[in-house]
Amino acid sequence: MLQKNDTAPDFTLFATPDQKITLSEFKGQNVILAFYPADWSPVCSDQMALYNEMLQFFKKYDAVIFGISVDSKWCHMAFSQSRNLHFPLLADFEPKGEIAKKYGAYNEAEGECGRALFVIDKNGIIQWSYLSPMAINPGADGILEALEKL
């Protein structure tokens, strides 16, 4: 898994069925990447709901957050609407897990993203990363601590 001081690999992924997001477009802002196994799973649902509640705190640090899983753009759209999420979920769908693999956050055995977090600074450099056990919501404390140090 990529670590502090590694350059964050650029990517372009679907955020909605007709909109893509490119990481490099957010240079000049801090970025949080939250890789997670699957929409609709209980732990993932709780984790994304928590980050939705934390958006105001992330914004204080000029940070945007993106959730990333191997689910499709259509699955993300339904999940996001049902949970009333106000940040993009990006589809690392095809080729499956390509971006998660670049970050070292892909679980080959399960065929899904690991539960990995990355805080990327305004220059595109990873300043903090964490791989959580699959069944545990990593929360937001580590993210906030990393943002405070930027």
Among this protein's residues, is 75 annotated catalytic? no
Q: How far apart are CA 3 and CA 59, in angstroms?
A: 23
CA gap 27, 75 in Å, rounded: 28
Alpha-carbon gap, residue 13 to 112, rounded angstroms: 16
Among 43, 44, 54, 65, the one annotated catalytic? 44
Closest among 13, 15, 5, 11 to 24, alpha carbons compared? 11
* Residues classed as catalytic: 44
